[in-house]
Chains A and B, each alone.
Chain A
């Protein structure tokens, strides 16, 4: 029935394209033929001072070509510049070939198609061309002097990213330091996270009602840390579900997530002493399509009315569709995502929401494993550093003392 409706709708939507009319032909060719002679005074003046330098901070596969503007550019007689290159063969310049062009007003071109094994010569052409209705009528070029040869060189460190490097070292340093501290037996405090405290209650409720638990690990693949964080929480939920003998259903939208989640759930059932209760189909694939996935889960939720729904991972526009449907069947819902734009929807439609970093802290929180708690402490110190940097920046920039933000620029 659905297919039939869809097909009927398809016919309906296709109808206008069947009614479209054929275009009438134009006579561009006739007009361009009349204007084909280029006026002699339109030839642009050649560019001067072509320089080649090695592109800094790269892997040795690029050269920068710079030049001064053609004197004709101000008079509007330059449409674009063409860059021509010749490789050095037996100490001589080989054949020149056009390797790229830039519009007038740009005086730099990065040739990213060179090799560390070669040397290269360059010329730049100032080009003035005329087109009519998309057809080229005439083109006038002026050639610069030859620049080069130069060989590109690879660098061992990208100096533009030194600030990021320092930041990464500091942050990772703090995290690793606190992990070793925690391992040495130092007590670490972690605040209560309501959403995670409610996991037991939510699983218990499903057991009391004799209904299913749904765990939705987001709509994205395993390359997302949020999906991994979601799968981590799944392990804990699966353990409890196995313990209470409550059916857990994990519909996923990516094949790799299915494989991983299945392994985690299986392990959790084994850990709870009920490996026989685990069924492979508990974790099942639906579709990679975002809204197809949401539609399938909505259908399942409406039909099966689960008592508890967990939504942990990376969600986009499907978040509210899922959460509202869960809400409509009266399920207790615990959601968590690191996608800021979806948080308001979860907050509005779910009973508990793990906001951003709480999702990533879940594993440490649930396991209470010292090394994991230590990493949270290190992360907090990093946050403190950022806060201090923001405050210093506000003061320095507001009073115009020093351009503090330039310390954080990666691209000049």
Chain B
């Protein structure tokens, strides 16, 4: 029963979502909305599971002085600080000048942007290591990277300013992005879409149930 009920719920919800796409009449027009509402409610409630798990593990780490327990103090302190700021002023906490908004604008935003900015460094190191002319395919990849990276910044056109417009690097980059890139992307997208259909069908029919903890 422990596994049959989830399979049944999945099957019913899956079939309803497929059918409602083709049948606009009541009750199908409402069923998919109800299911999506339930998902939102369950996901919103489940956030507590995650948050409590995080706090439990962090407090245990501090209590038993486990390896790197100092970081857990920061986790718990920051978590509590944001929760207090968030609940303190209720809905008004989002008004400009409130502590929650202040923390969002001047702590969370710069820290998040910093993490994203690290990508620039990692793109550099990954390109340095991976783009090597090992064989014909790798050389083509390398040349495409070369043209697109130069063509996507103004300096590309400065370097090729003497050429006719259609051969300037910005045009070459646009061509690579619009044709070979689009063609490849479409092929991968079609494959993925079919993969999703097949995997979804397996899940709806209950053939695939390893995500429920069983074969």
Contacts and interface: CB of A to CB of B under 8 A. Distances in A.
User: Do A and B actually bind?
Assistant: yes
Interface of A: 2-3, 6-7, 9-11, 13-14, 57-60, 154-158, 161, 164-165, 168, 171-172, 175-176, 179, 221, 223, 225, 228-229, 231-232, 235, 252, 254-256, 258-260, 263-264, 266-268, 281, 284-289, 291-292, 294-295, 299, 303, 317, 320-321, 323-324, 327, 338, 340, 343, 345, 347-349, 355-357, 359-361, 363, 367, 369, 371-372, 375-376, 378-379, 382-383, 386
Interface in B145-174: none
A288 B22 contact: no
Interface string B97-141: 000001101110111100110110011011101110000000000
Contact of B201 (A172, A228, A321, A348): A172
A378 B207 CA distance: 14
B129 to A, nearest CB: 7
A3 B71 CA distance: 11
Chain A residues touching B, majority SS: helix
A378 B112 CA distance: 44
Contacts of B77: 3
A158 B50 CA distance: 41
Contacts of A284: 53-54, 57
Given A349-B126, A372-B208, A386-B190, A229 B199 contact: yes
Interface string B186-215: 001111101111111111010110111111
A307 to B, nearest CB: 18
B64 interface: no
16 contacts: A2-B74, A6-B107, A154-B26, A156-B23, A158-B22, A165-B22, A179-B205, A232-B208, A235-B210, A255-B49, A260-B211, A348-B131, A356-B195, A357-B191, A363-B199, A375-B198
B105 A157 contact: no
A286 B55 CA distance: 10
Given A10-B103, A10-B106, A375 B54 contact: no
A179 B207 contact: yes
Given A7-B107, A9-B110, A285-B49, A383 B191 contact: yes
Given A157-B22, A345-B126, A372-B202, A13 B54 contact: no
A327 B128 CA distance: 13
Given A338-B195, A338-B196, A321 B188 contact: no
A390 to B, nearest CB: 9
Nearest to A355: B188
Interface of B: 18, 21-26, 29, 39, 42-43, 46-51, 53-54, 57, 60, 68, 71, 74, 77-78, 102-103, 105-107, 109-112, 115-116, 118-119, 122-123, 125-127, 129-131, 185, 188-192, 194-203, 205, 207-208, 210-215
B58 to A, nearest CB: 10
A14 B126 contact: no
B116 A291 contact: yes
B211 A228 contact: yes
A378 B50 contact: no
Contacts of A171: 194, 197
Contacts of A356: 188, 191-192, 195
B24 A357 contact: no
A179 B207 CA distance: 10
A223 B39 contact: yes
Contacts of B214: 267
A255 B25 contact: no
Given A154-B26, A157-B23, A288 B189 contact: no
A7 B196 CA distance: 45
A13 B210 contact: no
B184 to A, nearest CB: 8
